[in-house]
Structure 1
């Protein structure tokens, strides 16, 4: 029998309030999951669930198709071997930076190399950092496209030049990279820039005035065929630092040879490295050292906006 309301004076029907049935929390949860009376699951019947699933199936299928088309278009513009933007067109530009190793993994030490040549723990710490840096060079000692290069034997095709770790002499692993002596070694490496070709200082009559005399004498004393190198030099950064360190030995040479350039992402390529042995720095003194790379197309700038050089500190306890 249908419920009839009471008509008020203004013609509006008023129906009596019906209190909803009381349900326990479990009954409310169970009914929300499945309502046997109305045949719904989570508030939807079979037809409603089919409609919404069909909608989302079409929606995500279209979305996946659009994403695939965009990715296909993007990947078609990318070369796995060669970057699209190079040299001046790229974000990194055409001025390679100079880096050094070893470097501590502790943020508070920054670029400081602080060691005690008589303490086994201190020696092993810096030997370990150096070994981590050298690991790719040891693993790449052999390879089908790896060849021994020289100034009269340049690599061809996909060949890459071998970096011979045996030529580091006193800066090799057998000597603990110098950290067990008064003359530790650091390693310099230029950042890779695709297709960058150095413009060498190979003419003894056309060398920069601010180039260290030791390096000038080195270039003059080499045969013309061996002068095509990106030269490096290290000095004490300030006059006080120069008083505490003045001698540096460079192995296997004082530069990065021309046969490693240009870098074109050939499989197995490894950047050349130069070992710098810091000869007997004054103990118990913090010494600032700056190392610089020399090529006509490497811009140099010191200070905070450093280009073409790298700065670090060294301190030897005794």
Structure 2
């Protein structure tokens, strides 16, 4: 029995939709990946180009809001039963994840608007890893390469416990800085990265722009560990700070 014109049109439209989806879906996946998956490596919040107008609170509002939004899930962590307070000997097991106390951000926290109200803005650094990107921590100062920045080596020396370095991935930014709580992503935060509710640790870096008004301050932050490849884009992040004023 021959199909009438109406059914031919319906079938034609259905076939066209299937063809379009077959072409568009792989392209979309290739372009955008898994929207729910966190990007691996070192990241800087609030972004790549940070412009502050001295005395103009509206100019920093978007940055403050973005950083405040980042911290919201961290503030909710203590209320969840699978969250524990970790350290070098207390580590997450099973479904447990490590709590990250936002109070450890100190002067780079939300109570100070992350330093954006003045000339000392903070940038929040996070490090997300899985099995495809798992650098090995240094065990002692003897394993630290000679080209490690001098200030970072000093921080490492101050962290020594019985002659051993604190285990984790170190980070250093090529400019004036103040790190809080310290320039280290502790290794116990990466024991259970696939657990539900997991959040990566944060290191805050404060930059002093008082004597650098009206100039672009280019910053690169880099990870330091045994098997870090300096060419690996996941191991570093760059951004620019600028304070416009009189």
Q: C-alpha distance in 2, partners of 1:207/1:115?
A: 36
Match of 1:140, SS state, is helix
Instruction: Give the deviation of 1:136 after TM superposition.
Output: 2.2
Superposed, 1:35-184 pairs within 5 Å as 97-103=41-47, 111-184=48-121
How many Å separate the matches in 2 of 1:119 and 1:163? 32
C-alpha displacement of 1:157: 1.9
Instruction: Encode CA deviations 1:9-67: one digit per residue, 9 max, x unaligned.
Output: xxxxxxxxxxxxxxxxxxxxxxxxxxxxxxxx9689xxxx9xxxxxx9xxxxxxxxxxx
Contact 2:87–2:188 at 8 Å: present in 1 too? yes
Bigger RCO of structures 1 and 2 (CA < 8 A, at least 6 apart): 2
149-158 or 182-191: bigger deviation:
149-158
Q: Which residue of 2 aligns with 1:257?
A: 186
Q: Distance in 1 between matches of 2:150 and 2:182?
A: 16
1:231 equivalenced with 2:231 (yes/no): no
Report the counterpart of residue 20 of structure 2 in structure 1. none
User: Following TM superposition, by how much is the alpha carbon of 1:259 offset from its aligned partner in structure 2, in angstroms?
Assistant: 0.9
Is the CA contact 2:92–2:192 (under 8 Å) kept in the aligned structure 1? no
Residues 264-300 of structure 1 deviation map (CA, whole Å, 9 limit, x = unaligned)? 4111110111111112351110111100011112211
Of the two, which has the highest radius of gyration? 1
| 1:25 corresponds to | none
TM-score, structure 2 as length reference: 0.77
Over the aligned positions, Cα root-mean-square deviation in angstroms equals 2.6
Partner residue, 1:66: none
Residue 230 (structure 1) shift = 0.3
Q: For residues 5 and 119 of structure 2, what CA distance do their matches in structure 1 show?
A: 80
Distance 1:264 1:174, change over 3 A: closer
2:230 maps to what in 1? 300
| CA–CA separation in structure 1 for the residues paired with 2:5 and 2:49 | 66
- What is the rounded CA distance, in whole Å, between the counterparts of 1:222 and 1:189 in structure 2? 20
Residues 128, 42 of structure 1: CA spacing in aligned structure 2 closer, same or farther, 3 A cutoff? same
Deviations 1:158-215 (A, max 9, x none): 2110010011111011100000011100011123314754311231122111110111
